[in-house]
Amino acid sequence: MNLINLLFEKGKEYNIEEMEVYINKNSSVDFNIYEGELEKYIVAEETGLSLRGIYNGKMGYSYTEKLWEENLDELIKNLIQYAENNHSETVEKIASLAGEKSEFIPRKNLLNKYTEEEKINYLLDLEKRAYAVDKRVKTISGCSYSESTNSVYIRNTKGLELESSHAIGMMNLGAVAEEGKNMQTGYSHIVFNDLKEEYKDILIKDSVGDALSMLGSDQAESSNYNIILRNNVAADMFSNFLPIFFGNTVQKGLSLMKGKIDTEVAVESFSIVEDPLMDNGKYYRTFDDEGTLTSEKYIIENGVLKTFLYSNKTAEKDEVSSTGNGFRNSHKSSIDTMSTNMYIKEGNKTLEDMVKEMENGIIITDIDGLHAGINPTSGNFSLLSKGLLVEDGEITRPISQITMAGNLYEMLKNIKIIGNDTKFSHPSSNYFGSPSIYVGKLTIAGK
């Protein structure tokens, strides 16, 4: 790219020691259906360039959406100003390619084979079928489709040059069911790379099914109960606890996992994996935003903590290698530690199997207040919850208006059974997958 060559040349004139260009391109389509009509249709595109470089021994950042030659001087001057105000004791570095360079094989975009009309009709049929499940389904509160393509290009003055691109889609379905004066809601989402017909059944079962199953719910008595966290609940909880595995969090003393590498932190059946090349994952990256090659890895393997997630900066502080987890939220942000696709390895029991083995307790099917109700540092959680009461191995009635409380670190060592029905958290935050888990006893506050 001639513009990048010129930018690097100008950088030398301003005495920038090392430089790196990061270009991010995003294109997206979003639309939703309401009562059989296309309510909105939005197409968006964005391209941004981020420049970082070493000036007088300090890292500086600058960015622009205007990729024009006349903006290059201003871009470099902003980098210098950032570096002059960078008082961090840790020196961030520009990296050469770490590891053997592998040829990037893009994940095939299977969504391109569908026309816009086919995608809209798919969503129209999804809403129609959701309404048809039961006459108590009064409103489909949300029926939306989004599709995005993300491209990343990195080049620096140390010879690194990499590019990557992937596309992903997501659908959301929300339902409201009413019976008499009782009203309940249900929600589901799915991330995909192909518009398969069976996704309709999954979305309807999860959203409409939850709304209907909770009709007539009431509180449970306050007590300590055996608890099964259904897959969606476990995924959302662990997604919010993920920072305890980030190197920068550990280094700040904000994770009780500190100092526990190669020690047992969970039951033997429990393993967490990160896979940046997972099928239907939110991410598909062979390298991070620092150019470090990514790989599938165990965070916890058979109950033993194996690694934290590191960027180059945090890895150097702990005198280890980067795990390929140095990413940006956007071209406007600096590099931080972030996870890609993470999940708990499945066991071999169905949810029905776990219910029978638990005999008496509660299946937690929905939680609320995650940001306020979870303390990642201590591991404590207290969450507004809904669920299903289990008596003598059978689901007997829905329960709501309860609060579930416990501690993550203790829960990891008390897990009884791990299921085989993985579901992923919403991709708007840390993307984490979990099967249903019988976690033992937790405290329930009800009536």
Residue listed under structure tokens 């595109």: 45
**Crossing angle for the helix pair 116-132 and 198-213, to the nearest 10 degrees:** 30
Q: Would you state the pLDDT for residue 92?
A: 81
Tokens standing for 178?
Answer: 């009413």
Residue listed under structure tokens 């294109």: 27
Q: Measured between alpha carbons, how far is 132 from 428 in angstroms, rounded to an integer?
A: 30
CB distance 285 to 151 below 8 Å? no
What CATH architecture is 2-207? 2-Layer Sandwich (3.30)
Q: Would you state the pLDDT for residue 371?
A: 87
Q: Which helix (H) or strand (E) holds 313?
A: helix 312-317
66: burial class by Cβ within 10 Å (0-12, 13-18, 19+)? exposed
Beta strands across the sheet bearing 37-55: 58-64, 37-55, 18-34, 137-156, 161-179, 182-192
Amino acid of residue 329 = N
Q: Would you state the pLDDT for residue 2?
A: 86
Q: Residues with Cβ < 8 Å from 28, sequence gap 6 or more?
A: 42, 43, 44, 45, 146, 147, 148, 149
Which pLDDT tens digits describe the chain residue by residue (447 residues)? 688 999 999 999 999 999 999 999 999 999 999 999 999 999 999 999 999 999 999 999 999 998 888 889 999 999 999 999 998 877 788 887 655 555 666 778 889 999 999 999 999 999 999 999 999 999 999 999 999 999 999 999 998 999 999 999 999 999 999 999 899 999 999 999 999 999 999 999 999 999 999 999 999 999 999 999 999 999 999 999 999 999 999 999 999 999 999 999 999 999 999 999 998 899 999 999 999 999 999 999 999 999 999 999 999 999 999 999 999 988 888 899 999 999 999 999 999 999 999 999 999 999 999 989 999 999 999 999 999 999 999 999 999 999 999 999 999 999 999 999 999 999 888 999 999 999 999 999 998
Q: Would you state the pLDDT for residue 150?
A: 93
Q: Would you state the pLDDT for residue 237?
A: 97
Q: Would you state the pLDDT for residue 145?
A: 97
Q: Would you state the pLDDT for residue 90?
A: 75
256: burial class by Cβ within 10 Å (0-12, 13-18, 19+)? middle
Residue extents of the structural domains in the chain: 2-207, 217-447
